């Protein structure tokens, strides 16, 4: 049954707002890249992580294959192709430039490859892919300023804004307040991961201090009706990724995931794959799981699907293109 529902949702045009480009590269592409570099192939068991720390190690291992302009070009092309196969006509993907530069990648080569790969991919397919530059909390507040500097030095029409990600450790909100304020002054959109492994207070503080337009994950908000009302009243959408949440331990199980409760509280939600290659999932599979395991009805799923377009940072030109799909 789940396969039939997955096929049906794969056939529907969709938007995805929370997917990390580096975590969405098909294994076939990664192993082709590894072979070209004379490295050992990546074995599927690397994705059998049990917590966020092991997940991060997996992320570091796979991304180490991206070294030069051609690598990033081919990665961007592979990402577009993967989204096309899922019939995702509009994507806002996160990409972490600071992480790659810190491991020795030349920024000029990285950005040229990324932008060219996305552009060439979109020339072949009637889809739109935009970028949110992701800032890792583990690199500190200076990573935020460095990311804004990259946007100034390497501007491109694909760039929408910034996204704060990484483990929600104590005092990981206020240090980024000036960065988010500056980003808004630059005309950039803002998103922040919050409430993935933390409670409702962290979500509320993120909203008040950083003022993001969307929250990545945010399932911790379900523990406090006050925070749910805050999200609903301010029309701040949550980017939920059930499989990611279950496999990383943010949710005990699909059945105990707070998606349904958040919807009942009037919180706008979207469904996403997060890092599909790491979690052996896809956006259509997330919809199928929500229907068969999490118990959402058809109307709820179609409302979530519509939210993907409604809460995306679509400009009028982009929206007219995807509305025709």
Q: Which residues are catalytic?
A: 196
Burial tier of 153 (Cβ tally within 10 Å: 0-12, 13-18, 19+): exposed
Please answer whether residues 115 and 77 qualify as being in contact, where contact means their C-beta atoms are separated by less than 8 angstroms. no
Tokens 């570091």 belong to: 60
Residue burial 70-97, b: 16+ Cβ < 10 Å; e: rest: ebbbbbbbbbbebbbebbbbbbbbbbbb
Residue burial 9-26, b: 16+ Cβ < 10 Å; e: rest: bbeebbbbbbbbbbbbbe
- Collapsing DSSP states into helix, strand and coil, what is residue 165? strand
DSSP string, 301-315: HHHHHHHHHHTS---
Q: What are phi and psi of 271, to 5 degrees?
A: -105, 145
- 3-state DSSP: the chain helix, strand, coil percent, rounded to 5? 55, 15, 30
DSSP string, 202-226: HHHHHHHHH--SEEEE-GGGGG-HH
CA distance 250 to 80: 28
Closest CA to 93 of 27, 29, 160, 26: 160
CA distance 302 to 306: 6
């Amino acid at each position: 049954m789940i396969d039939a529902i997955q096929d049906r949702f794969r056939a529907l045009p969709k938007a995805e707002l929370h997917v990390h480009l580096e975590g969405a590269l098909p294994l076939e592409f990664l192993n082709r890249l590894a072979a070209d570099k004379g490295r050992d192939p990546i074995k599927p068991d690397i994705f059998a992580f049990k917590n966020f720390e092991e997940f991060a190690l997996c992320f570091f291992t796979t991304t180490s294959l991206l070294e030069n302009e051609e690598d990033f070009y081919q990665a961007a092309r592979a990402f577009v192709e993967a989204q096309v196969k899922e019939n995702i006509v509009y994507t806002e993907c996160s990409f972490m430039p600071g992480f790659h530069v810190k491991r020795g990648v030349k920024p000029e080569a990285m950005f040229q490859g990324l932008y060219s790969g996305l552009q060439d991919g979109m020339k072949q397919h009637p889809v739109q892919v935009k970028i949110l530059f992701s800032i890792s909390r583990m690199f500190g507040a200076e990573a935020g300023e460095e990311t804004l500097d990259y946007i100034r030095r390497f501007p491109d029409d694909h760039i929408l804004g910034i996204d704060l990600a990484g483990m929600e450790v104590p005092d990981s909100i206020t240090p980024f307040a000036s960065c988010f304020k500056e980003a808004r002054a630059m005309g950039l959109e803002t998103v922040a991961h919050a409430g993935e492994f933390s409670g409702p207070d962290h979500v509320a503080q993120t909203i008040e201090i950083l003022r993001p337009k969307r929250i990545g994950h945010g399932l911790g908000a379900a523990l406090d009706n006050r925070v749910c009302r805050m999200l609903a009243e301010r029309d701040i959408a949550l980017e939920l990724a059930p499989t990611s949440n279950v496999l990383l331990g943010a949710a005990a199980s699909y059945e105990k995931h707070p998606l349904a409760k958040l919807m009942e509280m009037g919180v706008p939600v979207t469904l996403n794959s997060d890092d599909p290659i790491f979690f052996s999932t896809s956006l259509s599979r997330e919809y199928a799981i929500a229907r068969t395991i999490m118990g959402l009805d058809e109307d709820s799923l179609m409302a979530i699907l519509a939210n993907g377009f409604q809460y995306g940072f679509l400009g009028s030109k982009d929206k007219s293109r995807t509305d025709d799909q």
